[in-house]
Amino acid sequence: MELMDKAIEAKKNSYSPYSHFKVGAALLTKDGKIFTGCNIESVSHTPTCCAERTAFFKAISEGYKEFEAIAVSGDTEYCYPCGVCRQVMSEFCDKDFKIYVGDKEYTLDELLPYSFDLEK
């Protein structure tokens, strides 16, 4: 699958000198453009940014706000998006947004059934 191949490729750019755990992500917009991201660590940990959020923030900063799917590739067979990344996804994606992890496919609603929402 092209999206997962792009995530695997993005993983090569990871800056992870502290955890030594590389992660890459490839985000597909609804109009077919792909944005990649990798995890970028900081020695003070808090400013560290996951691959998924890097991809989202790149896309959003270029004016894209409608997304179809994301593929995530880590140093383990199944590298799931963290809670912070899932919450960011819920800000910009429908509940049926596809998340590919290894050879598995999930929807955002399956991985984050009770997202934080100020209107609820």
Model confidence at 115, in pLDDT bands (50, 70, 90)?
Answer: confident
Summarize pLDDT for 31-69 with one digit per residue, the tens: 999 999 999 999 998 889 999 999 999 999 999 999 999
Question: If DSSP states are collapsed to H, E and C, what string results for the chain?
Answer: CHHHHHHHHHHCCCECCCCCCCEEEEEEECCCCEEEEECECCCCCCCCECHHHHHHHHHHHCCCCCEEEEEEEECCCCCCCCHHHHHHHHHHCCCCCEEEECCEEEEHHHHCCCCCCCCC
| pTM greater than 0.75 (yes/no) | yes
pLDDT above 90: residue 103: yes
Other beta carbons less than 10 A from residue 5's beta carbon:
12
Domains for the chain: give ranges and CATH numbers: 2-111 (3.40.140.10)
Query: pLDDT value at position 120?
Result: 60
77 is catalytic: no
Indicate which residue of 2, 9, 41, 52 is catalytic: 52
